[in-house]
Structure 1
Amino acid sequence: MLSILHINASPRYANSDSLRLARHFIDSLRAATTETFELETLNLFDDGALPAFGHTAAAAKMAVFTGQDQTPDQIAAWESARAVFDQFAAADAYVFNIPMWNSGVPYVLKQWIDIITQPGWSFGFDPEKGYTGLMEGKPALAIHSSGVFAPGVPAAFGSDFSSTFFADWLNFVGIEDATHIRFAPTVLNVDVEGTRRAAENELSDAALLFAGKLGTFELIRG
């Protein structure tokens, strides 16, 4: 069965605009495809959702790549990180909802990215050719929301290092088939419901294209 991993990077749950839109996309996708898929949601702000990646995990990483033996604590830390990556790697496609925080991504999303973005896991490196993403052939849909910033606003209303960083990371790990949809602004907006409906319509259209991609995956995997 095909699997979709939904990464929820908002702590606001029922009050989250980005999460509401992600659920709209997933519902539209279920309606648009005859393929059965398994959905797994990772709520990054849930307690215990992510392991710490501090000095023990960093030492474990360096031990692996320098051929040294890991201590028992390092083994445990590295296995915890690997479990997060394995969940990511096992999915056939991805849905992300990402609210902008201080012009960037929420810190837990960056933590998740830093845990799974390891050489030999999500990317490879060649001294002559450089980096190569190892997660090729998997589509992703990313929903970006922001309260004040919107494309085209004056600089005094903020900057967007969130969607640009995230798009670059997807490409870095080899996920080149990515669709990005924005809902903004959500606060300084005289027609927020109209903007929301426009985003929902865009997501419904994206779901039709995504459904076709899932069918292609079924043929490849079958």
Structure 2
Amino acid sequence: MAKVLVIYAHPETKTYSTTDKFYQQFITSYREAHPEDTIIEHNVSEYMPFPLNKIAVSIYNKALVNQPLNPDESRFNDARQQWIDEFIAADKYVFVNPMYNLFIPSEMKSYLDIVMQVSQTFHYTDQGIMEGLLHGKKAIHLQTAGGDYHGSTGRPDLSQLDLGHQYIGAVLHVMGVDDFTGLYAEGMDQSPAHAPEIMAAAFDRAEQAGRTF
């Protein structure tokens, strides 16, 4: 039985959400194919409690000189550690977001800042090289975008502009997770006349990916 951790970065709305529809196709298919797995979902756009704020910086600086934490810092540190432990314990990661100006939402960036922790998810070798501590894990990135960045609709490949996917992959690589793929629903705003067929094809890919992930 695998533990699947879903990091979803998009505000919950009652209106139609392409990102949510895309994700639901994937996760419904996944549940049907892997009924024994445990799935934990966090929408970090709704709840992101531990950013790199002044408390986090104070904790870091005190750790460097072995100073004790005050009560507020201890509570913050203990709660943040639970998120780190959860990330370490997961077998599979699912990152879900719309593209925001060629990048991921800020809340997802903040989440990655939490879990990318030296001595816990990566460390430095004696030669000063960053080396991941998470092994045998896999990840997938589900992303929606109004423009076509990966040639999904037959347009030129502009994947070099997808800085968010590159960033998630780089962070995961540093932490030792190299089994990482992307799944995209994109081009609906760029080609609105073809939006229904674009989404239908994307939903088919999401369903297939859910079965095999």
Q: TM (normalized to structure 1)?
A: 0.82
Cα contact 2:48–2:107 (8 A) shared by 1? no
Matches within 5 A, 1:132-211: 132-151=131-150, 159-189=161-191, 190-210=193-213
CA contact (8 A) 1:3 1:93 kept: yes
Preserved contact between residue 48 and residue 111 of structure 2 (Cα < 8 Å):
no
State the alpha-carbon separation in 2 of the partners of residues 195 and 52 from structure 1. 36
Counterpart CA distance in 1 for 2:198 and 2:209 is: 16
- Distance of 1:160 and 1:179 partners within structure 2: 13
Give structure 1 stretches of 5+ with no counterpart: 211-222
| Equivalent residue, structure 2, for 1:27 | 28
Where 2:161 maps in the other structure, the secondary structure is coil
Aligned residue type for 1:180: G
Q: Is the 8 A contact 1:60 1:77 kept in 2?
A: no
Q: Encode CA deviations 1:55-96: one digit per residue, 9 max, x unaligned.
A: 121121232244332233322222222122122222221211
Comparing 189-198 with 102-111, greater Cα deviation is found at 189-198
Q: How far is the alpha carbon of 1:103 from its aligned partner? A: 1.3
Distance across 2 between alignment mates of 1:154 and 1:70: 53
8 A contact 2:5–2:92 mirrored in 1: yes
The residue number in structure 1 matching 2:61 is 62
**Offset of residue 12 of structure 1:** 4.3
Q: For the residues of structure 2 that align with 1:28 and 1:95, how far apart are their CA atoms? A: 14
* Structure 1 residues 30 and 77, CA gap change in structure 2 (3 angstroms): closer
Structure 1 distance, partners of 2:13, 2:176, is: 29
Deviation of 1:179 (Å): 1.8
Alpha-carbon separation, structure 2, partners of 1:38 and 1:137: 17
Is structure 2 residue 91 aligned with structure 1 residue 92? yes
Q: CA deviation at 1:43?
A: 0.8
Q: Which residue is equivalent to 1:126?
A: 125
Task: Assess if the C-alpha contact under 8 Å between 1:99 and 1:106 holds in 2.
Answer: yes
Q: Which residue identity lines up with residue 28 of structure 1 in the other structure?
A: S
| 67-76 or 164-173: bigger deviation | 67-76
Give percent identity, aligned residues only: 24
User: Matched residues in 2 for 1:13 and 1:41: separation?
Assistant: 17
SS in 2 for 1:191: helix
Separation in structure 2 between the aligned mates of residue 13 and residue 185 of structure 1, nearest angstrom = 22
Q: Quick check: 2:51–2:111 contact (8 Å CA) kept in 1?
A: no
Asked whether the 8 Å contact 1:5–1:91 carries over to 2, the reply is: yes
Counterparts of 1:96 and 1:154, CA distance in 2: 25
Q: Distance in 1 between matches of 2:176 and 2:33?
A: 26
What amino acid does structure 2 have at the position aligned with 1:182? Y
Q: Letter of the aligned partner of 2:41 in structure 1?
A: T
Please tell me the residue identity of whatever aligns with 2:161. Answer: S
Structure 1 residue matching 2:49: 3-state secondary structure: coil
Aligned residues: 207
Residue equivalent to 2:76 = 77
2:73 aligned counterpart, secondary structure: helix
How far apart are residue 23 of structure 1 and its match? 1.6
Q: 2:36: which partner in 1? A: 36
Which sits farther off after the overlay, 174-183 or 57-66? 57-66
